[in-house]
Amino acid sequence: MLRGTRVVFLLALVALIVRISYLFLFVDLSRDYYWEYGELARNLHMGKGYSLFYPAGDLYVLRASPSASPYPSAYMMPGYVAFIFPFFFLSDVVVRNTLLLLVQGVIGAAAVVLMFRFAERFVGRREASVAALVMACLPEFVYASGSYTPTVLFQCIFLLLLPVLYGLWEEHSRRSEYAAGALFAGLVYIRPELVLFGAGCLLLLMVGRRGVIALRVGVVLVLLVLPWQIRNAVVFHEWIPLTTNSGLNFFRGHNDLELGSFADDAIIQGLRDLPPGRDFEPALSRLYFKRAFAYIGTEPAQEFARTASKLEQLWYRDPSDPRSANLVYIVPWLVLLASAAAGLARSTVRRQHRVLILYLGCTTAVAIVFFVLPRYQTMMKVALVPFAAVGLLAGWDMLRRRFGRGPAEDRSN
């Protein structure tokens, strides 16, 4: 135990040093834009409520402004908005960004510890050190700590959830069931598509004759997401279960322009007829859905090509993004992917880790239905790391046997 504690401490320290070094060497700390999350938090800070869009001539703007009267919003789930909101009390941008990203660096180091603990319990002691080392040093994991997105926060909550979730198939306390529901809700408040993964896990529990456990987990999840839904119903006078940007995300994956495009001429024309105020965002989402389904109906054959492109972007690289061809990114990713495939090739691994395999499947399904951003791949890689550790150690042991050193000592038990 003492040795394991020293190892995980050293790995967490390495992770923290790498992230802090990246922060001060490569991140622009003078940047005062944090995507839609930051604009929502900024409007909250200015006393304008949870709001985002407002008209400016023929355009709709989402950059917060003291003189603007933005419309009520449910464009983004409030998890990461709540996380960054306190930092807006710091008026100095450099100080704000430094503190925010230092906190994210600490969370990233904590995720390394959580990866080690999960792998040590459910994969093996040797694999735990490898998995944590990969988590500590893989370039995109380091990059995520310096990004103004919920990626690192997602990784940490996901790795908190995994051992609790795995334990539901073993002897556990009622508290574990409530914790699983609460952690699922935390993930949904950060990434709403995790509802699909949650539903899949509940189905796995029911298939495994653990229906009562699934019911308790599901009830906690629903009750904790319900306040957001009630807020939306009060504000928008209609049921918005999660966000109002699902239509946009669907359109970005189904259009006659390029994957990820925000609008075509029909969308731009339709913006002029959208109602103002609380009805704007729901109407905008419906406009995007209508346009995307019109494209699917007229170009069904193109959907197969688009699906292949989205799978390539998720599981390999985005040809339109030159960053994904960088050797610092692509080489470690391909090594991780090949190692994970080797680890998954073992039948015992597949049987034991059906939850992680389900998560990979759900991530792939979401990418096919909507579209892919680089950080979606980074969030998916967390689930591949334990399998990659198995594959990397299997390859190492094979090399040791081939060169006459004998099999590595098995310390997994």
290-311 pLDDT tens trace: 999 999 999 888 888 999 999 9
Q: What is the pLDDT of residue 410?
A: 47
| Residues in the chain where the model's pLDDT stays below 50 | 1-2, 408-413
Report the chain's C-alpha Rg in angstroms: 22
Predicted pLDDT at 398: 87
Locate 310 and state its tokens.
């989205």
Q: What is the pTM of this model?
A: 0.94
Q: For the beta carbon of residue 79, count every other beta carbon within 10 angstroms.
A: 21
In 104-263, beta strands by DSSP E: none
For position 188, what pLDDT does the model report?
98
Q: State residue 351's pLDDT score.
A: 77
Cα separation, 377 vs 318, in Å, equals: 10
Concatenated DSSP letters of 245-271: -HHHHHHHHS-SS-TT----HHHHHHH
How confident is the model at residue 400, as a pLDDT?
83
Q: Is 57 left (phi over 0), alpha (psi -120 to 50) or beta?
A: left
- Residue 409's pLDDT is 47
Query: According to the model, what pLDDT value does residue 300 have?
Result: 84
- Per residue in 81-101, pLDDT (tens digit) is 999 999 999 999 999 999 999
What pLDDT is attached to residue 170? 86
Range 302-311, long-range pairs (CB < 8 A, 24+ positions): 302/256, 303/254, 306/253, 306/254, 306/259, 307/368, 309/259, 310/253, 310/259, 310/367, 310/368, 310/371, 310/372, 311/364, 311/367, 311/368
Three-state DSSP state, 210: coil
C-alpha 248/C-alpha 229 separation (Å) is 20
pLDDT of residue 347: 64
Task: Classify 304 as helix, strand or coil.
Answer: helix
Burial of 98 (0-12, 13-18, 19+ CB in 10 A): middle
Distance CA 406, CA 383 (A): 31
- CA 31 from chain center: how many Å? 23
Say if residues 303 and 259 touch (Cβ distance below 8 Å): no
